[in-house]
Amino acid sequence: MYDLTIIGYGPGGYEASLLALRKNLKIAIVEESKLGGNCLNRACIPTKYYWTGAKFLEKLEIFNNYGILIEKKGIDFYKAFEKKNEAIKYLRKSLRQLLKSKKVNLFKGRGKIIDKNKVLVIDKDGNEEIIETKNILIATGSKPISIGNLKLDNNYIVSTDYLLEKMDSLPSSILIVGGGVAGCELGYILKSYGVDVYIVELKDRLLPSKDTSKDISKYLIRKFKKLGIKTYLNTTVEDYEIRDSKVLVKLSNGENLEVDKILLSVGRAPNTSDIDEIGIIKDERRFIKVDEYMRTNYENIYACGDVVNSPMLAYTSSLEGKVAVKNIIGENVKIDYGYIPYAIFSAYEISYIGLNEETAKEKNIEIVSGLYSYSFNEKAVDEGETDGFIKLFFNKENKKFVGGYILGASASELIHLLEVALKEGYTAEDLHHLTYFHPSISEIIPFASYDIAEGKLF
């Protein structure tokens, strides 16, 4: 009898296992595909790998400024694909080694809960095995969805999963349907590698989430324009056909496009079909219903990550997985997402946290803001990274920091300092008066809070 059986070994299952092992639980892992889940194999990690390449390609343009003479000989995408796979394999191996060294039983197959204490594992050959377990954590993740008449075929119409895991050569042109995070990330990467990129987005802006400041979308679309990424807002794909190895697309605005591929990045659905025979309760969108303890309608069965209705992020999944484990060992801990830092790797490295102009208004919080450009930051000038901005929002009344965003180098790291500022209720003065190393990109923070902390300069 295991203490805990984890079904699905992505970031949720992995972090849950790390904590469970520290707490000396006897655990079993069930995974039907590769260790590491979507995040490691076909989302976050390959995206940032290719994004690093895209940034390198951008950097090439300024190497000359540092006296480095080079000649560009072209792109070998297959090489990038292979080395991406190597990096991921290396990381997957470290997961495998962890399980081995802790003598954790890994069941390769599809897990199905057939009793509140029994998980049936069916491997790819149809062999069955039953795991007996005190507790279960469902962490089976999600998969990309199709929309309308666009059907994924792993050739002309592809998903982000396919593109990031399997695609070993570049199309010469691509239409990306969906200008959300994945669409904006992959659009930038593909363009950098020389692909003609078109993006269609149903809504009136890129990154159409209310937590994302409209300013971010504005800066990003301006940059896309400069890079030659063609963006269609308020637009959908009306029809398409495949002819002579090309996809002919008719857009809702009347324009016609001819591309090699269509990438669908319109969202993901939870992997909750056929995971149980015991009536675990799901909502109308098939997300598993959990309480604040990450418990399902069964006291000993928990769920985390993309299968529950919370932000579809690797790190919230990890948090949920750890909360589940804490409750399994009786610590009685409620989920608290705290302040979630967001980051997007597109033509800008983008990050944000807390409120923005729109969400502050919704909450009737009057704000004052501080803006600072990377072009005045000495470290950014040294690095040739002058194209960037930070905007910080403070409560007008008490000058407390309520949120902000960063577009530019190191944005995804710097955001954590802003997270702590939010958590600790820092005012503009508090943020301004920390000691910042000079020169550092971090100095954009004291400069963006200077006017509010010490009075205006202009």
The answer to whether residue 218 forms part of the interface with its own copies (CB under 8 A) is: no
Nearest to 200, CA basis, from 248, 239, 234: 234
Q: Is residue 433 among the annotated active site residues?
A: no
φ, ψ of residue 450 to 5 degrees: the values are -60, -50
Residues 93-152 that bind its own copies (CB under 8 A): 94, 101-102
Question: Which is closer to its own copies, CB of 33 or CB of 386?
Answer: 386
Q: Assign 67 to helix, strand or coil.
A: coil
Candidate segments 48-56, 241-249, 262-270, 291-299, binder of its own copies by CB under 8 A: 48-56
**Residues near its own copies (CB under 8 A), total:** 96
How many Å apart are CA 52 and CA 54, to the nearest integer? 5
Site string for its own copies, 336-365 (x = CB under 8 A): -xxxxxxx-------x--------------
Nearest to 348 by CA among 170, 453, 236, 192: 192
Q: Is residue 440 close enough to count as binding its own copies by CB under 8 A? A: yes
d(CA 168, CA 166) in angstroms, rounded, equals 6
Give me the DSSP letters along 384-406: T----EEEEEEETTT-BEEEEEE
**Residue 309: CB minimum distance to its own copies, A:** 18
Name the minimum Å distance from CB 255 to its own copies: 32
**Which residues pair with residue 30 across a beta bridge?**
7, 107
Out of 173, 315, 358, 371, the residue judged to bind its own copies by CB under 8 A: 315
Name the minimum Å distance from CB 448 to its own copies: 14
Min separation Cβ 115 and its own copies, Å: 31
| CA separation, residue 33 to residues 20, 107, 109, 322, 389 (Å) | 22, 11, 7, 22, 41
Site residues for its own copies, 57-96, by CB under 8 A, read 57, 59-60, 63-81, 83, 87, 90-91, 94
* Residue 22: count of CB within 10 angstroms of its CB: 9
Looking at residues 3 to 42 of the shown chain, list those that interact with its own copies (rule: CB under 8 A).
Answer: 11, 18-19, 21-23, 39-40
By CB under 8 A, is residue 313 in contact with its own copies?
yes
Identified binder of its own copies from the candidate list 26, 48, 134, 396, rule CB under 8 A: 48
Sort strands 256-259 and 261-264 into parallel, antiparallel or unpaired. Answer: unpaired
Task: For residue 242, state whether it binds its own copies (rule: CB under 8 A).
Answer: no
Catalytic residue among 416, 432, 433, 438: 438
Shortest distance, CB of residue 208 to its own copies, whole angstroms?
Answer: 21
Q: Determine the Cα–Cα distance for residues 213 and 216; give it in Å rounded to an integer.
A: 5
Contact status: 454 vs its own copies (CB under 8 A): yes
The verdict on 155 binding its own copies (CB under 8 A) reads no
What are the DSSP E strand ranges found in 265-333?
A: 268-270, 301-303
Applying CB under 8 A, among 414, 428, 448, 452 the residue interacting with its own copies is 414
Closest C-alpha to 145, from 159, 155, 157, 134: 159
Under the criterion CB under 8 A, does residue 436 sit at the interface with its own copies? yes
Cβ atoms < 10 Å from Cβ of 447: 18
Q: Give CA–CA dist 200/206, Å, rounded.
A: 9
What's the closest the beta carbon of residue 320 comes to its own copies, in angstroms?
A: 12
In the complex with its own copies, the residue whose CB is nearer, 81 or 188, is 81
Residues designated catalytic: 438
